[in-house]
Amino acid sequence: MQEQHDNLFVRAYCALIAQNAGLFISRGAAMHPTRVIESHELIFVQEGELDMWEDEQEFHLEAGDTLHLWPGRQHGSTKPMPLGLRFYWIHFEIETRSENSAENGDEFHPAPAINMPQLARLNQPERLGRLFRTFLDDQETGMLNSTSANLLTMLMLIEVAQASEERPMRAFEQNVLATWAHTYIRINYARPITTSKVAEALGFNADYLGRIYRKVYGCTLTEAIHRSRIHVACKYLLDNDLTAITIDQIAQKCGFSDPDYFRRIFRRYMKIAPGDYRREFSHIHVNTH
């Protein structure tokens, strides 16, 4: 007996009509063209800084920021786009639909409106980045149909809209996020990490993560990276089995590419030069485990 299957048929309606999208990577010194287009455009900066204008307004965007440009308004860049700037962009139209436009007698249920700010800073930019990458991957492979393109675009706008509406983190959620950052730093101190890389690894905006971390731990992310590295450096300096390792080598093992910078940071936190610290305290037994 042939097995039967019942398919679920859903009529999807989306008020957006997606056009095309892309990822722009600046080679330096180029200007965004001054133009007027007939579609909406959403720009999402992944890396670097972008300075734009629309009509009489100017906008400065950094990594994790989005900008919505309106159709029929002239826009362009106020400064040359720097080397290393990377931003996603997508063009779309808004379809208007009234209650009388439902076909075949279907009941029309208007969806709640999305209130998207023109300029927004995302607390979790990686979420929007994933949507853009999905759109571009499917666009490149020919797997992107109109329905999925429209719905992906709608999800992008919802992600931006939620940035301005996002509820404040409760105390325990802030503690969890700060602990994630603290643990990431302790594990990766020897790598060339920065506050931006810590935030990117956790999927949050760097400024937002920095504020939460400082509220919980009482110091900046940069200070936390320095303290973690100096803490390990002290262990190396006091280990009698590592007396043959130079100060410069210890700096490298603790994530400092510049030995002179390591010496300045060490003196700032320990109030003594690393060489003097080793000579004065290395005879004391220290448990380095």
At 150 the three-state DSSP class reads helix
Q: What residue ranges do the domains of the chain occupy?
A: 16-165, 168-289
* pLDDT (0 to 100) of residue 206: 84
Which has more pLDDT, 230 or 110?
A: 230
pLDDT range class, residue 111, cuts 50, 70, 90: low
Q: Mean pLDDT over residues 40-69, rounded?
A: 94
Which has more pLDDT, 248 or 208?
A: 248
Q: Kindly report the CATH number that applies to the domain delimited by 16-165.
A: 2.60.120.280
Of 82, 155, 109, nearest in space to 13 by CA: 109
**Strands 65-69, 50-54: parallel, antiparallel or unpaired by DSSP?**
unpaired
Distance of CA 221 to CAs 2, 96, 195, 283, Å? Answer: 63, 46, 6, 33
The top-level CATH class assigned to 168-289 is mainly alpha
Reported as a single tens digit per residue, the pLDDT across 151-204 is 999 999 999 988 765 566 788 889 999 999 999 999 999 999 999 889 888 888
Which has more pLDDT, 281 or 277?
A: 277
Buried b (16+ CB within 10 A) or exposed e, 82-98: eeebebbbbbbeeeeee
Report the C-alpha gap between 186 and 194 in whole angstroms: 13
Of 39, 43, 94, nearest in space to 71 by CA: 39
Mean pLDDT over each residue of the chain, to the nearest integer: 87
Residues linked to residue 54 through DSSP beta bridges, in sequence order: 57, 75
* pLDDT (0 to 100) of residue 168: 67
